[in-house]
């Protein structure tokens, strides 16, 4: 048997390295294809405040019935969520945050406001919508909410028009079979105008309540809610309501001035009456 020389061993090692390099090179097209999926920052969610949503868009509700958005609004502010029902993660977090905030406010869907959840996947059916509705109504646990929280599906065209009106972008990723999109919920006025955005997956119940009161033009809520609106300011960059210190101070000064002037007027009136009685 011929003994292998150092040259033979070196040649074998070089051949092995070359084979590995060829394998790596053959994988590069697959890797290049995988990085074509959209990055999170490339999918937009623009704030189009005061944009008008066409309420004549037609969808199907969870029963399969064809409806227009205006059939659901009924002169109430709208809490709108754009999701897709088979989303494995983010949409579920959006709906979980939404139902948690809804459970913390004293308003009920169908009474003070309307909640509308729309799937932006035109291939999803009303059967999926019905299952989602049953699950989240049970979690909300609010009597009568089934009349005011609607889960919709639709064709590609009305979905695109609705998403465009509110600035919501999404993109299908063939490599994963899922959609790339951002998260958040939206408040519309009864006329269908975009009033407020709440980005993310957790929503402040106070901000949500104030947003609904403001969108309703003070037709819902209590006098306390309206006083809160005087002291809070909506920041579109964060989607939150912040306390306006200057407005609070000005309001307090105005109240103090009113009380002082009222007290002085009372004392002057009493003094005049006393002089008249003495005379």
C-alpha dihedral (65, 67, 73, 78), degrees to nearest 10: 80
Fold of 42-204: Glutaredoxin (3.40.30)
Q: What is the pLDDT of residues 129-178, one digit of tens each?
A: 999 999 999 999 999 999 999 999 999 999 999 999 999 999 999 999 99
Q: What is the pLDDT of residues 17-45, one digit of tens each?
A: 444 444 444 444 433 333 345 554 568 99
Token pair 């600035």 in the structure block, residue: 167
pTM over 0.85: no
List the structure tokens of 213: 């009161």
Find, among 94, 271, 107, 111, the residue nearest to 197 by Cα: 94
The C-alpha atoms of residue 102 and residue 78 are separated, in whole angstroms, by 12
Contact 119, 153 (CB under 8 A): yes
Terminal-residue alpha carbon distance, the chain: 144
DSSP category for residue 221: S
Domain residue ranges in the chain? 1-36, 42-204
The C-alpha atoms of residue 257 and residue 147 are separated, in whole angstroms, by 48
The C-alpha atoms of residue 259 and residue 238 are separated, in whole angstroms, by 37
């Amino acid at each position: 048997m011929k003994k292998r020389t150092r040259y033979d061993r070196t040649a074998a090692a070089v051949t092995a390295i070359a084979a590995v390099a060829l394998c790596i090179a053959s994988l590069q097209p697959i890797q290049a294809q995988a990085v074509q999926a959209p990055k999170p920052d490339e999918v937009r969610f623009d704030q189009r405040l005061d944009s008008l949503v066409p309420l004549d868009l037609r969808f199907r509700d969870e029963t399969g019935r064809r409806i227009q958005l205006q059939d659901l609004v009924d002169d109430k502010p709208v809490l709108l969520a754009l999701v897709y029902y088979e989303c494995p993660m983010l949409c579920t977090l959006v709906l979980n945050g939404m139902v948690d905030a809804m459970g913390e406010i004293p308003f009920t869907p169908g009474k003070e406001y309307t909640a509308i959840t729309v799937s932006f996947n035109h291939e999803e059916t009303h059967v999926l919508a019905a299952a989602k509705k049953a699950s989240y109504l049970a979690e909300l646990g609010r009597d009568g909410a089934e009349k005011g929280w609607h889960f919709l599906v639709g064709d590609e065209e009305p979905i695109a028009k609705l998403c465009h009106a509110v600035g919501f972008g999404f993109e299908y990723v063939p490599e994963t079979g899922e959609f790339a999109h951002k998260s958040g919920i939206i408040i519309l006025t009864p006329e269908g105008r975009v009033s407020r955005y709440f980005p993310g997956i957790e929503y402040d119940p106070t901000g949500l309540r104030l947003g609904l009161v403001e969108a309703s033009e003070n037709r819902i809520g209590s006098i306390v809610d309206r006083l809160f609106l005087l002291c809070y300011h909506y920041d579109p960059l964060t989607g939150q309501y912040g306390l306006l210190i200057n407005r609070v101070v000005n309001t307090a000064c105005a109240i103090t001035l009113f009380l002082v002037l009222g007290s002085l007027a009372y004392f002057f009136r009493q003094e005049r009456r006393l002089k008249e009685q003495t005379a």
